[in-house]
Amino acid sequence: MRKRELYSLIGSVIAPIVATAAAAFVFWWLTMYSVLCERDVAGTVIAVWCAVVIRIMLWAEKKGEEEK
């Protein structure tokens, strides 16, 4: 397995796990310390999850391209 394929695999496996952990933390923090309604909290958590997945996937793609 080449390094590029390895980074792609790591990015695709790690991204959802890290994103879920970040979203869970944001959900916990917002429900404990925020005055937002549930709909706003859910929307924020979904946005955080998507942002973290995209960021990790972009990082893995960039890392794979650097190894060419």
> Region 50-54: what's the mean pLDDT?
87
Query: Which residue, among 55, 68, 44, has the nearest Cα to 18 in the 3D structure?
Result: 55
> Region 58-62: what's the mean pLDDT?
78
**pTM for the complete prediction?**
0.68
Per domain, the residue ranges of the chain are 3-66
3-state secondary structure of 12: helix
For the stretch 26-45, pLDDT in tens is 888 888 887 777 778 888 88
Please answer whether residues 22 and 52 qualify as being in contact, where contact means their C-beta atoms are separated by less than 8 angstroms: yes
Is the model more confident about 23 or about 10?
Answer: 23
